[in-house]
Structures are given as structure tokens and as C-alpha cells.
Amino acid sequence: MRRGADDTVILVLDLCYRAGSLSRYEFVEPVAAALRRAGAEIDILHYRELDDPSGYDKVVLCGTALKDRRCLDDAEQLSWIQEWKRPMLGISTGAALICSVLGGGVLPGVHIGMDDVRIIAETRLLGEPRKIPAFHLHSVRLALPSELIEVAEKCEAFMCRDRPVYGLLFDPEVRNRWILDRFVKCEK
Amino acid sequence: MNIFLINARFAHIMNLGVLFSGGKDSVFACYRAMEKEDVKCLITLISENEESYMFHTPNIGLAELVASAIGIDILKWRTPGVEEMELEDLRDAIIEARRLYGIEGIVTGAIESVYQSSRIQRICSELDLWCFNPLWQIDQLDYLKMLIAHGFRVIVTGVFAYPLDESFLGAEIDDGMIAKLEMLQKRYGISPSGEGGELETLVLDGPIFRRRLEVLRAARLFSGNRGRYVIESARLAEKPGHPNNRVAQRS
């Protein structure tokens, strides 16, 4: 990890089926590029390569291909999510992983294409309640554990009750990069 | 699960089919797929509708020659190109590719088009296939530079928006053209890689090409703000380092 005294470094965690996979171009690189454009310093690691995330200030858990659920089978390797206190954002499969690790349910539910997301609770990440158009590419629906609050209808977005931990089932790197901007700018 | 089974699970190389036009996006997507997985076939839909929403049309007949240059089998599938019905044709083509080549997933060259990528994602989901879009959301100017840096030779075969003019037809994408496209992006908002349908391309050579294409005869047709570089004759030519080059010709 590269950092100076005042640098904030975001760990972008690749959850795809293999380190350096063909899916990385689609689910990791666009998120990393959007974070860099927002001024963030980032490291990209595959979840199987990660020993200890404690040196990072923020974490983004990326999405995966619709058929790719391998990281959910390997959730034990990511149990540190239970204790993570700093800002964290799960996208698509990354959101499902947070939900699963915190004891929630991950159920089948394919959602593909542009569709409105109805935000129902104000948060620092998504702002006030309203509808936003968003790109969906996921094969799950979530049953949230008590630790997580529904922020958008149908659990399309959630946050943790007592930690800056967010999940989005839709893909903010497509048409909603302002969300990644806000995540970069939110406090450590 | 023991360590052997875990390693086997992650080492599996997938058999893939690439939706293929012979243009830069499908060729570069194929290149990236070949680096990571096993590309078994290229799938080309030949649309009878020149305004097809989904499928590239200029010089689509040359896709077979490009496939031959790369050295991968091509499955050609005709479609009347009627919106939404052509998705059924695409689905049928993919089913046939799975039957013939045992593909486990599809690769596309989609960059920005939510319309295109969503529809292909749905077909793959319904058929229980993987779907890969290795150019998704890529910065378009960086991408054009990357094409050149990786050794691809790409020519413009169609322009479909002002202020792209006749001078682009048949011209090779190089640093000068990229600078011009960047300027046109700033001034007119065109998509520099043609993602908005502004331009179409054909790849003549690249690192995955065993042989390269040579254009022998072509005509420039330009009217209003639209133009085509119609390749009337082209052939495959040998490349140093790639023996086994029989000359094939299409006229």
C-alpha cells in the first residue's frame, strides 16, 4: 500500500471469480477509474489476496458477473467486514456480501437494465429521499439483518445503523458516478 | 473443501464465444478474452437492416475474413434486423454456438450502451451463460490510444454524424486522428470511439492476427453527413513470424 502522512487510501476489492479475471475490466476497473477521477488514491486487490485491510481508510467491495457468486461461498475469508468501522461501500455482489456476512439473507432475484431507485431515507451518501434512474445488473434480492437499514425500496440501497457502511444493489459507476464522488469525499 | 478442489475451481478456463463484427470493439474484446479464457468461436449476426439498433452493418461481410486472419471459427447468422425480433435471432445464434462449440459464456464489445448490454445480459441470464463486457465504461480516448499501443491497425469504414466527413473514410486510426476526434468531442460532443454510432471501423491487423488484411479495392460513398468506405476486394497477407499463410481472397 502506498501512502503519505495525510493520504486517504481506498481499497478497491475485486470479488470476481479469479484474480486478474476477464470480469475485472467490467466490474472493478470502471469503479477504480471513477474513484481516481474523484481524486482518490486507491489500491486494487482480489479478495483472495487480501490478508489484512486494517491499513486502509475506506473499502469498496465491487460487483461481479451475474453468474459469479464465488465470493459469497468464500464469505468466511471476509469475516473482517463484521468488525469494520471505517467507511465501506458494497456494490451489487459486494452489497450482498455485506448483507450475508452481517447475518442477512441473499435470495435469487435477477434485475438487469435501467430502472428507477426510490430512495426512502436520507443519508450522507445518497442524499434526500427521491427517485433516481440507475443501472442494475445483479441476480439477488436481500433480506436485511437488524444491523442494516433500508435506504432505498426493495433494499436497493442500505446502510449500517452505527457505522458508515453502505450497500447498493445497483451500479453507481454507470450513470451515477456522483455517488462514488461522495464516497471519496466523505470523512474517514 | 480440500486445497486441490479449491485450486481446480479457480483454474478452470472457460470456453467463450465473442459477438463479432470485425470492428475495433469486438476485436479488442476478443483480444482481452483470449488473454484470460479460451475463445472457441466468433458469432456474427448479419443484419438485413442497415439501421439495426444492435448489430454493426458496414462491411459486415468482411467479418469472416477478419476471423480467418485471427484463426478462430466464425458462426454467421442472418437476421432481418427488426428491433427486438433481432434479439430472438441473437438468442438462436448463441444457442447454436453453445451446441457447436460448448461455449459457457458470451463476450461483447459494449462500452457505454446500456441498451445493447442489458439485452445481451438478459439473453445470457436466460440461457444460464456467463456474459463479459471487457470494454465496459472504458475511457474512450484512452481506449483508442491503447488500441494503437497494442499494435492494432484500424480503419474507419463508416461515418454517420456531422462533422465527420469524407476524409475519415478509409483512414487509419493514429495519433493524429485521435487528436482530431478529441477536438471534435470537445466542440461537438461526438463520442470519439463512435459509441453513439458516429463511426464504424474495421481491424486490419493486430497482435492476435496470424495474418493481416489488405484492402485491394474500395469506394468512398459520401452524402449529407453520412459516408461509407465500401471494401470491394480484400485479401489476407502473410505476417512475419506466422507461417502457414495461404492467401485467401474475397471479391
The verdict on a CB contact (< 8 Å) between B124 and A17 is: no
Q: What is the mean pLDDT of chain A?
A: 95
A18 interaction partners in chain B (CB closer than 8 Å): 10
pLDDT of residue B251: 47
Inter-chain Cβ pairs, chain A and chain B, closer than 8 A: 66
Domain that includes residue A44, residue range = 9-185
Contact of A149 with A98, CB cutoff 8 Å: no
Residue B187 CA, chain-centre distance (Å), reads: 27
Is A4 contained in some domain?
no
Position A1 in a domain: no
Residues in A lying within 8 Å of B, measured between beta carbons: 17-18, 20-23, 25-26, 29-30, 33, 48, 65-68, 70, 110, 112-114, 135, 137, 139, 173-175
Domain assignment of residue A2, yes or no: no
Range of the domain at B71: 3-250
Number of domains in chain A: 1
pLDDT of B10 above 70: no
Q: Give the chain B residue nearest A19 (alpha carbons).
A: B10
Q: Do B136 and A30 touch (CB under 8 A)?
A: yes
- The pLDDT value recorded for residue B150 is 98
The pLDDT tens digits of the residues spanning B157-202 come to 999 998 999 999 999 999 999 999 999 999 999 999 998 889 999 9
pLDDT confidence tier of residue B1, bands split at 50, 70 and 90: very low
How many distinct structural domains can be found in chain B? 1
Q: Which domain CATH number covers A95?
A: 3.40.50.880
* Mean pLDDT to the nearest integer, A160-178: 97
- Per-residue confidence at B52, pLDDT binned at 50, 70, 90? low
Q: Which residue, among A182, A186, A177, A155, has the nearest Cα to A31 in the 3D structure?
A: A177
Residue-wise pLDDT for B110-132, tens only, equals: 999 999 999 999 999 999 999 99
Give the best-scoring range by mean pLDDT among A76-80, A176-180, B245-249.
Answer: A176-180
Q: Is residue A170 part of a domain?
A: yes
Q: With respect to residue A3, please indicate whether it lies within any of the assigned structural domains.
A: no
What pLDDT digit, counting tens, does each position of A3-26 carry? Answer: 554 578 999 999 999 999 999 999
State residue B133's pLDDT score. Answer: 98
Q: What is the CATH number of the domain that holds B51?
A: 3.40.50.620
CB contact under 8 A, A30 and B121: no
What is the least distance, in Å, from the CA of A155 to any CA of chain B?
Answer: 21
> Is the pLDDT score of B4 beyond 80?
no
The predicted-structure confidence for A42-99, as pLDDT tens digits, reads as follows: 999 999 999 899 999 999 999 999 999 999 999 999 999 999 999 999 999 999 999 9
| Radius of gyration of chain B, Cα coordinates, nearest whole angstrom | 18
pLDDT at B86: 84
pLDDT of the residue at B49: 73
Nearest residue on chain A to B107, judged by CA atoms? A22
Tell me the pairing of strands B130-132 and B38-47: unpaired
- DSSP letter at B92? H
Q: If residue B221 lies in a helix (H) or strand (E), which one and from where to where?
A: strand B212-223
Q: What is the mean pLDDT of chain B?
A: 90
How many percent of chain A have pLDDT more than 70?
96
- In the structure grid, which three cell numbers stand for residue A90, read together? 458494497
Q: Map residue B35 onto helix, strand or coil.
A: helix
